[in-house]
Structure 1
Amino acid sequence: MRQMMSRISTARWSERHAALSVCVGSYFAVRLAQLLVSPVVPSLRGAFGASRGAVGTILTGMWLVYACVQLPSGAAGDRYGQRRVVLAALGGTAVAALALAAAPSLLAFGAVALLLGMGAGLYYTPATALLAARFEDVGRVIGIHRVGSQAAGLVAPALATLLGARFGWRVVLGSGAVVTTLLLGVLLRRGPSAPRAVARTDGGTAVRPRQVAAVLSRPPVAAAAALATVGEFAALATLSFLPTVLVEAHGLPLSTAGALFGAYFVVVTALQPVSGWLSDRLGRDAVTGALFAVGAVGYAALALGTTRAAALPAVALVGVAMACGPPVQSRAVDALADAECGVGFGAVRTAYILVAALGPVVVGTLADAAGWTAGIGLLAAMLAFAAVALVGARLGGRGRRPTHGSSSDRYRPSRPSETPWRFSPPSPGR
């Protein structure tokens, strides 16, 4: 009996961690397909005779569609099973990336870019719900999962440079389809087909605006969405303007600014699992508040410092702060019941991504009007305010510390009738 229980425990461990490994690879693949578009913008303009504004509109549209798909993807995961939606996301992303590489005109390119945003947008919400149902330490798992996205940010520029110089921009975009197809093949080969999930009759799959608003208005969910908005707002603005700030405000050569930008991604990538693990042990708010406080110092140094010596520590501090995703997103998952995790988490992501998408516009406009001190200073002020608010909430007795004794109940799968996502190969007799 003891030996049988040991085998069951080992199989469960293997299935969970195999699922996590494939999800990391899948997130890398879908995000790589998106991020390969930006490095080939100059080539696109030359090939199609497009203006910067036209290409910018296409990219904005892709990311807006990505944000809007978060909610329906969560609903689809609740209805049909997260594994099926993840497979659909990988397949849709692969097809869209291939069509993008073959686009004959700017109009066709723009239309397919919207489809790419849709395919990639289907992925994250159901994948997160799938992992949350399998692990108790959700913060650490989300942190590990997000490494896939951050790694894509590191690989995309180098891959685009390597392939673009020799083969052209179409091969660059096509490489995203190749990587995504490889991950799709892994899932299809090692994950046996699950039977059709039982249709939900509790309204869990219907995206009703009133019910979504009710979920988002609950104080714990609203607080998680607000914190996620602050972090994503700063992250998108940093992604857009950090090299420019280093060149224009700190006087760094473009090559040095690019190297520091790469170092920023390394810091963010390395600290994703660490911040998630710490939030499981110390509490979501404690870790988020500490990261925001560090970020406020880093952005203040970027805004006020004008020397090269100040740039390196400032970038490092900002990179530490932008590892806030796992504790913030875990806070949102904590606040949602199992039955609403897909739709609820999708609603949270749609809300904060849409608002945070204004980050580059707001910071860029403010910098045009009053300089980088004002533009980057806004980010420092936002993070400082959020950190102070979290400290006040904690001192007031509203801080959140995860209770590991109840985690297994909170995150158990909500559809016991659905076949679990297995990764072991089928037995010979099957």
Structure 2
Amino acid sequence: MFRRKNRKRRLPISRDRRSPSMNLSTHWRYRSTVLGLCMAVYFGSRVGQVTLSTLGSDIVASLDITMSLFGLAFTGLSLMSAFAQLPSGVLSDRYGERILILGAVVLTCVSTLLLALAPTYVVFLLLMVIVGIGSGLYYSPSTALLDKVYNRTGQVIGTYRISGQLAGVVGPVVVGTLNHQYGWRVALFATGLLLVPVLGGVWAFMRPTTPNNPDTPIRTHSSPYRLLDIVSRPRLAGTTVLAGTIQFVEVAAFTFIPTILQQHHGLSTSAAGSLYAVYFATVSVLQPVSGWLSDHLGRDSVVVILLLAGIGGFGLLTRQIRLPMLTLAVVLAGVSMTWGAPVQSRFIDALKETERGVGFGLVRTLYLLVGALGGYVVGNLVTEAGWVVAFGTLALLLGLCLVGMTASRIVHPFTADR
């Protein structure tokens, strides 16, 4: 039904290759190196954010602040990370992806190291904002670069995103041990040091990249008319709404799955934590699978399957069910949250090669800002109406996405799954 059309792809060789005699074996090794470096950058940046979340109570006590002030600092980090997506795309189109990735690693590394030494809350808040800028600069250029050197965009984006999920699994364990032994400042400083070898690897092994539009002024790149033209295209506009809605659900799920397992289903803290680990493991393992399937079956076909899984998973979580069914619900929710690879590939497919930096940065900014509201809105729903309404709303939102995908297929039958 949703069979993907074959279309001619460019040769899977980067435009910035050094020698025209590069053979396929050499190219395969280099593109694997690029993927490994991009994953290392993603992992290092995400570990820093997970560390800050894990150390929250210790940081609050040490700086003598309230939890709301700590939350304000984290909000500043999240917002700056979202707002940095568009400038990173503009600058990568103008100067090339490598220099943006290097700049992101330097900024994140230095600001994280200084954050561990912050003497006051004001300094801590300022550095959190800078960490947010650094953590927002690398994703769009990395995605554009991987699209240049790989044929199967969905599969490689899925593999790339594993590193972010692994940071959520590994980070709390390692950071918790360091914090217990040496305190939060040493634990946070260690995560900053983790980015030093990553920086060295990018500098030494990632070749200079050719900008998409090196002669176009930055003002032209970020012209409001150009940005409006990109985001108003039907396929891009529809995908942005789709991504923003699912991102909203993902943020809410990330925030509240452990709590609903304890308060609504009566699980102990350790049992809820174990099921939460199952959720992360499902997302980590299936990220590249959803990307691979989207390359072979089509983006829309896979997104429909993931939406159905999410509707089932979040719907089950609203019911009073036994542990086996509860485990199934968490797994289904995790399956649905592997949406990143097919949906982001959908963006890449719809963008011209010369506008992928600025275009992807623009749509990513928009959907991250929408998604950032997930925790706040669903938290209020829990307070006012309870868990059934809150998680039922998440299932309903995914259902609306499914309706939208079906309508898109009916209205544009020949372009819906390109």
TM-score scaled by length of structure 2 = 0.91
Instruction: Indicate whether 1:230 and 2:233 are aligned.
Output: no
Q: Work out whether residues 143 and 275 of structure 1, in 8 Å CA contact, stay in contact via their aligned partners in 2.
A: yes
Find the partner of 2:104 among 89, 93, 107.
89
Give per-residue Cα distances to partners, 1:285-311, cap 9 Å, x unaligned.
110011011101100001123544432
| 2:336 counterpart residue number | 321
Give the alignment partner of residue 101 of structure 1, picking from 88, 112, 116: 116
Are positions 1:169 and 2:184 aligned together?
Answer: yes
The one-letter amino acid of 2:404's match is A
Supply the distance in 2 between the matched residues of 1:309 and 1:11 (Cα, whole angstroms). Answer: 48
Partner of 1:426: none
Structure 1 position 149, deviation (Å): 0.8
Task: Work out whether residues 98 and 207 of structure 2, in 8 Å CA contact, stay in contact via their aligned partners in 1.
Answer: no
Give the direction of change, closer, same or farther, for the CA distance of 1:228–1:6 in structure 2 (3 Å limit).
same
Query: Per-residue displacement from partner, 1:224-283 (whole Å, max 9, x unpaired)?
Result: 111111221111001111100000000000001011111111100111100001001111
The answer on whether the counterparts of 1:366 and 1:375 sit within 8 Å (CA) in structure 2 is: yes
Alignment of 1:188-267 (within 5 A): 188-191=203-206, 199-201=214-216, 206-267=221-282
Corresponding residue for residue 13 of structure 2 = none
Q: 1:232 and 1:248, CA in 2 relative to 1: closer, same or farther beyond 3 A?
A: same
1:383-398 aligned at under 5 Å gives the runs 383-396=398-411, 397-398=413-414
Structure 2 match to 1:132: 147
Q: 3-state DSSP class of the match of 2:178?
A: helix
Q: CA deviation at 1:401?
A: 3.5
Residue 281 (str. 1) matches residue 329 (str. 2): no
Matched AA of 2:298 = G
Q: CA deviation at 1:391?
A: 2.7
Q: What's the offset of the Cα at 1:7?
A: 5.8
Give unpaired runs (5+ residues) of structure 1.
403-430
Question: Offset at 1:25?
Answer: 1.3
Among 311, 314, 324, which residue is 1:296 paired with? 311
| Secondary structure in 2 matching 1:201 | coil
**Residue aligning to 1:45:** 60
Further displaced range: 96-105 or 189-198: 189-198
Moved more, 184-193 or 4-13: 4-13
Conservation of the 8 A alpha-carbon contact between 1:367 and 1:375: yes
Q: Distance in 2 between matches of 1:389 and 1:199?
A: 38
User: Contact 2:286/2:338 (CA < 8 Å) preserved in 1?
Assistant: yes
Q: Please say if residues 283 and 400 of structure 1, whose CA atoms lie closer than 8 Å, have aligned partners that are also in contact.
A: no
Q: Which residue number in structure 2 is paired with residue 427 of structure 1?
A: none
Q: Alpha-carbon deviation of 1:185? A: 0.8
Between 23-32 and 57-66, the greater mean CA deviation after superposition = 23-32
TM superposition shift of 1:190: 2.4
Mapped partners of 1:50, 1:398: distance in 2: 57
Letter in structure 2 aligned against 1:143: G
Q: Give per-residue Cα distances to partners, 1:319-342, cap 9 Å, x unaligned.
A: 000001100000011111111100
Further displaced range: 64-73 or 170-179: 170-179
Query: Would you say 1:62 and 2:46 are equivalent positions?
Result: no
Q: Is the 8 A contact 1:302 1:310 kept in 2?
A: no
Q: Tell whether 2:158 aligns with 1:143.
A: yes
State the Cα distance separating 1:126 from its structure 2 match.
Answer: 0.4
Q: Which amino acid aligns with 2:156?
A: V
Question: Does the 8 A contact of 2:92 with 2:211 survive in 1?
Answer: no
Indicate conservation of the 8 Å contact 1:212/1:347, yes or no.
yes
Equivalent-residue separation in structure 2 for 1:334 and 1:55 (angstroms): 39
Q: Which residue type is aligned with residue 315 of structure 2?
A: A
1:84-105 superposed Cα distances (whole Å, 9 cap, x missing partner): 1001111111001101111001
Inter-partner Cα distance in structure 2 for 1:398 and 1:95:
49
Gaps of 5+ in 2: 1-18
Once the two structures are TM-superposed, the CA of residue 393 in structure 1 deviates from its matched residue by 2.7
Q: Distance in 1 between matches of 2:105 and 2:204?
A: 14
Give the count of matched residue pairs.
399
